[in-house]
């Protein structure tokens, strides 16, 4: 582990890409948008997916709370959210049936889950740099 990590500073050689301030509310908006989907999954008795999406919901809200406080731990929460979203996208694609189901899973992964994961990582990185 590097001394920069131990001291709380981030040592990153990547150019700083700063998201506009309006992106700061993306995690909480994504969590709220997840609620109708959770309700639909619960009605269809899709328990494993409900559990995964509830974990994503709570991780998104935790990330939002850390971002609002500009806490350096937001980077770790953002990484957890990105990991959950990526795992969800991969599981959706792997479990989708042939035809339209796999196309829908690919569309959700490419248009919602993976871009949201990237935004969360960038937000967490910004919070770590500021903190």
Strand ranges in 43-105 using DSSP code E only, listed in sequence order: none
Tell me: pLDDT of 64 over 50.
Answer: yes
- As a whole number of angstroms, the distance between CA 120 and CA 124 comes to 6
Percentage with pLDDT > 70 across the chain: 87
Quick one: pLDDT at residue 128? 79
Mean predicted confidence (pLDDT) in 30-44: 95
Is residue 96 within 8 A of residue 102, CB to CB? The reply is yes
Q: pTM of the full predicted structure?
A: 0.84
Mean predicted confidence (pLDDT) in 62-88: 95
Tell me: pLDDT of 94 over 70.
Answer: yes
Sorted by where each begins, the domain ranges of the chain are: 25-130
Tell me: pLDDT of 70 over 70.
Answer: yes
Q: How far is CA 118 from the centre of its chain?
A: 8
């Amino acid at each position: 582990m590097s001394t920069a990590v131990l001291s709380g500073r981030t040592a990153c050689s990547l150019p700083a890409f700063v998201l506009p301030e309006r992106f700061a509310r993306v995690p909480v908006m994504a969590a709220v948008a997840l609620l109708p989907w959770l309700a639909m999954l619960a009605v269809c008795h899709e328990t494993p997916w409900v559990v995964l999406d509830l974990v994503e919901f709570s991780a998104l809200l935790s990330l939002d709370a850390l971002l609002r406080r500009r806490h350096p731990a937001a980077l770790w929460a953002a990484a957890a959210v990105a990991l959950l979203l990526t795992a969800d996208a991969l599981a959706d694609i792997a479990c989708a049936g042939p035809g339209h189901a796999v196309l829908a899973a690919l569309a959700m992964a490419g248009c919602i889950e993976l871009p949201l994961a990237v935004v969360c990582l960038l937000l967490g990185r910004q919070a770590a740099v500021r903190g």
